[in-house]
Structure 1
């Protein structure tokens, strides 16, 4: 598991990206769809609103394994997280994260079809470029010329697991 400091680091990487790609298994076939963050902090759990009748709910039944990715090409930030997904219809949780953006997609928070997808993150990896795109291109070109050198284009760290 990640330390509180590392969880804050992950949150700082993903909070401005806002939309992640959630990958579930549809039988044996991976399937990805965009999901919007609704929380204001990260403690090892990611929450998303969805409809009980959605296919992702069927795919997430019974602590299903998922992958969640966030990317911001402009900033050179990439985060991949793996964990387990569960569905909850706990009204206190639904109320906690409700906001006008959610209401645009799901007009009635008391609707029995509105549920939360709770994702407990077990492990992941993140990459963050420390330099500009021009510098990254320079590093890649330099690495191509010197076959024994890999480009130094930023930070890469695994966590959890």
Structure 2
């Protein structure tokens, strides 16, 4: 049986290996909206950071309903992180996280007042550990040609 620390380490590994995460939030008209976000940093899987623009519909929607989900996918597996988003004007943290990729998508640099941070405080992370591409392909083929359910890796949920 794996421990909380082992499971949290697995979640962290998947998140670190993911360049582009998918943020899902509730729009102002009540629909779920998913948008790609560049993975910037996280202190631990329970606190993740993204850069965005204050003037975006996404920020207005999140300020009205901060419940979010962030999904990550890497060679190590998949993570579905549920949590609460907070808009932050922390300029020191914004400068720390600003890089060339941010400059490609956002104008004005880290001192532009329209550029802000989204801090996601994670509540739970459901994860699926990947046994690797070849093993997944074998298991999928096995599931297609037999009555056996494919073994696509371990799945668990960890409270953050």
Both proteins in one fold, TM over 0.5: yes
Partner of 2:23: 22
Give the TM-score normalised by structure 2: 0.83
RMSD: 2.4
- The CA distance in 2 between the partners of 1:95 and 1:63, in whole Å, is 27
- The CA distance in 2 between the partners of 1:156 and 1:47, in whole Å, is 25
Residue 109 to residue 152, structure 1, CA distance change in 2 (3 Å): same
Q: What pairs with 1:146-157 in structure 2 (closer than 5 Å)?
A: 147=147, 149-157=148-156
Structure 1 segments of 4+ aligned residues over 4 angstroms from their partners: 2-5, 143-146
1:61–1:87 Cα contact (<8 Å) kept: yes
Gap regions ≥5 residues in structure 2? none
Residue 129 to residue 6, structure 1, CA distance change in 2 (3 Å): closer
Query: 1:69 deviation in Å?
Result: 0.7
Query: 1:6 deviation in Å?
Result: 3.6
Give the TM-score normalised by structure 1: 0.82
Q: What pairs with 1:1-161 in structure 2 (closer than 5 Å)?
A: 3=4, 5-26=6-27, 27-39=29-41, 41-61=43-63, 64-72=66-74, 75=75, 77-106=77-106, 107-133=108-134, 135-143=135-143, 147=147, 149-160=148-159
- The CA distance in 2 between the partners of 1:140 and 1:43, in whole Å, is 30
2:66–2:84 Cα contact (<8 Å) kept: yes
